[in-house]
Structure 1
Amino acid sequence: MTTLPDRPHTALLVIDVQNGVVANAHDRDGVIANINVLLERARAQDVPVIWVQHADEQLVRGSESWQYVPELVQHEGEPLVHKNYGDSFEGTDLEALLAERGVGRVVVTGASTDACIRSTLHGAFVRGYDVTLVADAHTTDDLSAYGAPPPAQVIAHTNLYWKWQSAPGRSAGTVDTADVVFAPTPVA
C-alpha cells in the first residue's frame, strides 16, 4: 500500500543496537535474540537488511560504546547507514539505499524506543513508507529519573500507538517477532 511507486519490497532495519545504547536497556538480551531471529528469517528470504549506527558526543565514532553489540553480526553486502540524528533518514543515504532496492515497506527493530525508534517510525511514514514496528524487538533505557515512565511502559505505549497509526495510502502496525511477514501486505 505504500505511496512510493514501484517499491514492492520490504527491508529489515536494525537501528542503533550499539554497546553504549543498549548496555542497560530493558530486556536487552531478549530483544537482541529476537533481532537475530529476524535477521536469519530476512536473509533466508533475500530480504534486504540495513543497519543504522548513531554517532554523537556520547557515542564517538570508533569507540567501544559506538560499536554494534557482538551478538549481532552484519553480513557482507548489508549496508550500514551512519547517522547523527534520531530519524534514520535525516542527513543519511537511507532513502537512496531503500529506493535502489525497490523498498516501500520497512520493518523496524532496535533502540532506543523513545528516541531513534520513534523518530524513524515517523520519518519513514511521512516519506510514504509502510512501517511495521516489531513489538518485542525494540528497547530503551530506564529514564524514569528524568520523568519518563519505566521502560516497559515506554515500549508498551509505543507499541500501542503505532498499532493504530493511519494515513492515506500507507499502512502502519505492530507485530511480535513470531508474526513478522516480510512479503508485501496484500491490498484488501
Structure 2
Amino acid sequence: MTAMTTLSERPRTALLVIDVQNDVVAGAHRRDEVVAAIGSLVDRAREEGVPVVWVQHCDEGLEKGTEAWAYVPELTRRDPEPLVHKSYGDSFEDTDLEAVLARAGVGHLVVTGAETDACIRSTIHGAFVRGYDVTLVADAHTAPDKSAWGAPPPEQVVAHTNLYWKGQSAPGRTAGVTAAKDVVFKAGS
C-alpha cells in the first residue's frame, strides 16, 4: 500500500496495539491466534525500528491498576514505547495519542487489538478523519460474542469490519486491510 497521508512531514508508520487487556479479550473470538499475530507484529516492528504504540482502556468496569485492566501476559510493552491511556472508544479522544504520533513523525497506522466493534472501529475512523493512512490487520483484531444482545457472531463482526474497511476512501489518504503475515514495515518509515 502506498502511503498518501494528508499529514505533511509525517512519513513514518507505527503499529498501534489497542486494548489487548485481560478482561477485554477474555473469551474473545480466536483470542490466542489474535494475540499471537499481534505479538509477531510487535516483534517485527521492533526489529525494523517501527514505533509500537500501546493503548490501554479504563472506565468504571475496567479499573486502572487491576489485573482485569492489565495487558495480557503474552504481550510486553518496553519502557521506551509510548503507552496511551484512554476512556473512550476512539483512541484519539481526550488522550495524548495525536501528540505521541506527531513527535514520532507518524502519518500511517497499522491497527491491531480489541474490540473490533467498539474501540477498533472507533479508532480506525478517528484516525482516518484526522488525516492518517490506516491499515487494519485482518487477523489481528477481535471481539467477544455479543449475539445475546442482538449483535452478529464475532467472526461476522470481524469479517464485516475487514470487508467495509477495504472500501474506505477519502482525499489524500488510504485505508486498507492486510493479513499479519503480509504487513510490510519499512525500516525507518
TM-score scaled by length of structure 1: 0.97
Q: Indicate if the aligned counterparts of 2:55 and 2:86 stay in contact, CA closer than 8 A.
A: yes
**What is the one-letter code of the residue matched to 2:105?**
G
**What is the one-letter code of the residue matched to 1:54?**
H
How far apart in 2 are the matches of 1:87 and 1:182?
24
Question: Which residue of structure 1 lines up, in the alignment, with residue 39 of structure 2?
Answer: 36
Deviations 1:85-118 (A, max 9, x none): 0000000000000000000000000000000000
User: Deviation of residue 146 (structure 1)?
Assistant: 0.3
- Aligned 1:72-87 pairs, distance under 5 A: 72-87=75-90
User: Deviation of residue 181 (structure 1)?
Assistant: 1.4
Question: Which residue of structure 1 lines up, in the alignment, with residue 157 of structure 2?
Answer: 154
Question: Which residue of structure 2 lines up, in the alignment, with residue 124 of structure 1?
Answer: 127
- Aligned 1:4-43 pairs, distance under 5 A: 4-43=7-46
Q: Alignment partner for residue 136 of structure 2, among 133, 148, 161?
A: 133
Question: What is the percentage of aligned positions where both structures have the same residue?
Answer: 71
How far apart in 2 are the matches of 1:87 and 1:134?
17
Q: Is 1:115 paired with 2:118? A: yes
Question: Which residue of structure 1 lines up, in the alignment, with residue 108 of structure 2?
Answer: 105
Deviations 1:92-151 (A, max 9, x none): 000000000000000000000000000000000000000000000000000000000000
What is the RMSD of the two structures over their aligned residues, measured on CA atoms?
A: 0.9
Between Structure 1 and Structure 2, how many residues are aligned? Answer: 184
Question: Which residue of structure 2 lines up, in the alignment, with residue 94 of structure 1?
Answer: 97
Q: Which structure 2 residue ranges, 5 or more long, are not aligned?
A: none
Question: Which residue of structure 2 lines up, in the alignment, with residue 64 of structure 1?
Answer: 67
Deviations 1:46-79 (A, max 9, x none): 0000000000111001111100000001012001
How far apart in 2 are the matches of 1:181 and 1:130?
14
User: Deviation of residue 10 (structure 1)?
Assistant: 0.2
Q: Alignment partner for residue 182 of structure 2, among 176, 179, 182?
A: 179
Q: Which structure 1 residue ranges, 5 or more long, are not aligned?
A: none
Q: Indicate if the aligned counterparts of 2:21 and 2:56 stay in contact, CA closer than 8 A.
A: yes
User: Deviation of residue 183 (structure 1)?
Assistant: 3.1
